[in-house]
Amino acid sequence: MKLSIPKNELQRGLARIQSIVEKRNTMPILANVHLEALKRKEGGQLEIAATDLEVGIRSSQPADVKKPGSVTASAKKLYEIIRELPEELVKIEVSSDAYLSIKCARAHFTLAGNSAEEYPTLPTAAPGSMVRVQAVVLSQMIERTIYAASTDETRYNLNGVFIEKVKETGKLRMVATDGHRLAYVDRAFGEDLAGLENGVIIPRKGLIELKRLVDEEDADEIEIGFEGNNGLVRKEGVTLVMRLIEGEFPNYRQVIPRDIKYHLTITTDVLIHALRRVALLSSERSRAIKFELTTGLLKLSSKNPDLGEAQEEIDVDYAGEELSIAFNARYLMDSLSVIRSKEVRLSFQDQLSPTQIVPADDQEDSLAIIMPMRI
């Protein structure tokens, strides 16, 4: 294997796979990146790939390939080397014993590698149909839901985001919950997403990689499709494959409040900053903040037996009955921080029922729910 490639192209491809490579030593080879130099009609390509057996990513970078071949090497160390090189052509040559010779300007590195035959096969998927989706819309949907996904590995069916087609509206919905909070967002797409009749659960790690992909500067539209237990995402020159979570997602509709009595409209930033201040003296364990609502006024308070107390009053648009309710401050701030709306509306039933949070300008298609705490 022998090739030359612009430093920025190689660095970009290696940067994409850094969070995928397996850092635990269950299989040492998973800490490597798979490099394959190819000669094609349209020109030389260097394919850069990595997998942790659940999520895999492969990208093609243009390169001047003198001799096709493949090799694997430490993903972290190779990236660190390339990142520090000057902005010039990088020349890579692989010896018969899998050592990489890396030259750029007057710098020269020799890096130990492994035979490409030892590297596991990336997850594969070939959906019958792929749908083009605006990257910015998908990015927003992920941002508004992923924070609510569970990180408790014993509840594996909650360790991701559920995606389904809403029968009533035909819109695409993303839902996540960890049992304490729930978030969903609906968006309309011009095309029909096949394979979503019963919904699929995309794992948290796969969704994080998808978010990175759609947030790249040149991301305009991406293709997405599902087949069996796999999801496939394609962007120009990049393919992301992930194994979906097997299991049944809970009936989240049951926890959405129906008989809402009280509504509070408030400026999002005002509430977030007040929460941050009052949370400074909340209990380290519960992070509890108490809301006390009276006509036109919201009083926030927290209490820590070892540190002291905090309280703050805010003038609000509220005309319901007096209400006292408590929340985990972190859960509330997580929900508010991703809404990105000037104002939010909080809706309450009573002090023990789930509280609903919606952006004031998107009340139909975006929703967060938080379970209150017993005071």
Predicted pLDDT at 6? 96
Q: How far is CA 315 from CA 262, 267, 323, 357, 360, in A?
A: 16, 10, 15, 18, 17
- pLDDT class for 195, splitting at 50, 70, 90? low
Say which CATH architecture domain 131-252 belongs to.
Roll (3.10)
Predicted pLDDT at 192? 67
331 compared with 42, residue with greater pLDDT:
331
Mean pLDDT, residues 101-122: 94
Residue extents of the structural domains in the chain: 2-118, 131-252, 256-370
Beta strands 181-187 and 297-304 are unpaired
CATH placement of domain 256-370: 3.10.150.10
Predicted pLDDT at 163? 93
Query: Is 267 a residue whose pLDDT tops 70?
Result: yes
| Least confident interval from 162-166, 186-190, 340-344 | 186-190
Looking at the chain, the whole-number percentage of residues with pLDDT higher than 90 is: 69
Mean pLDDT, residues 238-265: 90
Query: Is 303 a residue whose pLDDT tops 70?
Result: yes
Contact assessment for residue 358 and residue 263, using Cβ atoms and an 8 Å cutoff: no
Predicted pLDDT at 64? 95
Query: Is 194 a residue whose pLDDT tops 70?
Result: no
Query: Is 150 a residue whose pLDDT tops 80?
Result: yes
Contact assessment for residue 10 and residue 35, using Cβ atoms and an 8 Å cutoff: no
Domains 2-118 and 256-370 share a fold: yes
Question: How are strands ordered across the β-sheet holding 262-267?
Answer: 200-203, 160-165, 172-177, 181-187, 366-370, 355-359, 343-348, 262-267
Looking at the chain, the whole-number percentage of residues with pLDDT higher than 70 is: 95
Task: Give the tokens for residue 250.
Answer: 């809970």
Predicted pLDDT at 111? 97
Predicted pLDDT at 339? 86
Predicted pLDDT at 191? 64
Q: How far is CA 280 from CA 187, 228, 290, in A?
A: 36, 47, 13
User: How many residues are given for the chain?
Assistant: 375
Mean pLDDT, residues 339-363: 88
- Per-residue pLDDT tens for 59-96? 999 999 999 999 999 999 999 999 999 999 999 999 99
- pLDDT class for 360, splitting at 50, 70, 90? confident
Predicted pLDDT at 25? 62
Helix axes 135-143, 204-214, angle to 10 degrees: 140
Name the superfamily (CATH) of residues 2-118: DNA Polymerase III, subunit A, domain 2 (3.10.150.10)
Rounded Cα distance between 353 and 370, Å, is: 9
